[in-house]
A and B are shown apart, each in its own frame.
Chain A
Amino acid sequence: MNLLLLYLLLLKATLTSFSGLASLPVLRSDLVLRYHVLTDRQLNTAVAAGRMGPGPVGNYVVSVGYQIAGYPGAGAGWLAMITPAFVILLLIRFIGRRAEHPRARGMVRAIILAGAGLLLSAAVPLAHDAIRGPLPLFIASASLLLTLLTRLDAIWIVLCAGLLGLAAFSV
């Protein structure tokens, strides 16, 4: 896939979302379903790789770019991740305090919520790929509950899961 197209498709996903993983449904619809340059397994890998380290949750896009087109692809992903950030300079210039306008707030909240619903629907096929057997099912459910009910950071959950996987492999 040509790098410019890859960048534009990733940018389309980051520009239409308002938080880390909310770009995933758009990204999956283009790269997995339409262009077939990415598999659900690779998308799962990208999300996991992003959660293994520090930095913004949105950095899974860098991993997606890398898996599609190597280091240049990672560069395209990185650029697509940071480009929307500079939109805020225009907002400071032209909107400033008026950001609290009810219509602007209503629109952003509706997009955030639609993004959450879409993320849940995108998680269904991803779960189909990742959850094969009782151990992944247990790990995914435990991670879901730990994230919902505790303030435990994702990196520790992912680390414990990795150790559990290793232990299960060794016995």
Chain B
Amino acid sequence: MPRASLRDLSLLFLRIGNTTLGGGEPTIAALQRELIRRGWLTPEQFGVAFALARITPGTNMLAFSAAAGWYILGLTGALCGVLAVTIPSSLLVVWLTGICEAGAQIAWLGAVVAATIAAALGIMAAAALLLIRSQFGSGHWAIPLLIAAAAFGLRFLGLTPIEIIALAAIAGLFWRQA
């Protein structure tokens, strides 16, 4: 199996992590293509990294990057993968936040920012609905709907989100799938 250098690994993650639009899934797909094509990762390793990334807390794509980097170059590879994927886009987010804040002083910029905020809100609600739909796969469709509705309802009874997530985790242990 060809051995990657730390430099090549960082450059690949830098390029794909910061230029692929659409968030986690398209980025993982692009990394999969490149990593397997170069022979840095076996399809078997990709399978394990992908499956475990979905059950790792936080952003799945970052967990996947850590796992892929780990298989390729150990702990240094994991660190480089995650840093290369996140540092440029994080700097960009800080810069964009600065622009949004300036919208408070400049009227036309404020109008633009207010419009993008409304769009982001619509996208957020759609993301939640798509997340619910994505779990319809196996078993009865009513169960995913019920859990999401329960979380929605419980929130208005004064429970904190953490308490509701803990309740869901316990219920999930007994959720038998078809």
Contact = CB atoms under 8 A, between A and B. Distances in A.
Interface of A: 12, 14-26, 29, 44-60, 62-63, 66-67, 71, 74, 78, 81-89, 91-92, 95-97, 99-100, 102-123, 126-127, 130-131, 135-137, 139-148, 153-155, 157-158, 160-166, 168-170
Contacts of B177: 102, 105-106
Nearest to A104: B55
Contacts of A83: 58
How extensive is the interface on chain B, given as a class? 35 or more
Nearest to A131: B118
A53 B96 contact: yes
Contact of A25 (B87, B113, B161): B161
B97 A46 contact: yes
A87 B51 CA distance: 14
A97 B173 CA distance: 18
Judged by DSSP, the binding face of B is helix
Contact of A51 (B75, B123, B167): B123
6 contacts: A48-B120, A82-B86, A91-B55, A110-B172, A116-B132, A143-B118
A81 B150 CA distance: 27
Interface of B: 17-24, 27, 48-49, 51-67, 70, 75, 78, 82-83, 85-90, 92-94, 96-97, 99-101, 107-108, 111-132, 135, 144, 147-153, 155-156, 160-162, 164-165, 167-169, 171-177
A21 B122 CA distance: 13
A35 to B, nearest CB: 13
Given A62-B90, A112-B135, A169-B108, A126 B121 contact: yes
Contacts of B20: 54
B89 A54 contact: yes
Contact of A45 (B78, B100, B111, B132): B100
Contacts of A17: 57-58, 165
B121 A47 contact: yes
Instruction: Give the 5 A-B CB pairs with smallest separation, nearest first.
Output: A165-B115, A55-B89, A110-B172, A84-B58, A117-B151
